[in-house]
Amino acid sequence: VFNLIIPLSYLYVFPEKWQMIKVLTSLMVLFILTDIFRHKIGWIQSLFKSFFNSMLRSHEMDGKLTGATWVMI
């Protein structure tokens, strides 16, 4: 369901293609940086674990990118 947010926002929220490209690029960078920093910065790691630890797969806990980051890429 949440994967439909991107195409629907492209149709109804951002009428210009360049606006959607800017938003998606910004979100992609944010997701990648969050995924990298969740292993390197302690307070981000504890915050991430408190919110998302129960949803992570074993390979995501071991340092691989999360599924949400792959969706944004």
List helix spans (H) across the chain.
5-12, 17-40, 42-52, 58-61, 67-72
Number of domains in the chain: 1
For the chain, the maximum distance between any two Cα atoms, rounded to a whole number of angstroms, is: 40
CA-to-CA separations, 7 to 4, 12, 64, 73, in angstroms, rounded:
6, 9, 26, 14
**Is 10 a domain residue?**
no
Q: What residues make up the domain containing 37?
A: 17-72
**Is 48 a domain residue?**
yes
* pLDDT value at residue 39: 87
* pLDDT value at residue 36: 92
Using a 10 angstrom Cβ sphere, with 0-12 exposed, 13-18 middle and 19 or more buried, the burial of residue 32 is: middle
Q: What pLDDT, in 10s, does the model give residues 8-56?
A: 887 888 878 888 889 889 999 999 999 999 889 999 989 988 998 888 8
**Is 11 a domain residue?**
no
- Report whether 73 contacts 32 (CB < 8 A): yes
**Is 5 a domain residue?**
no
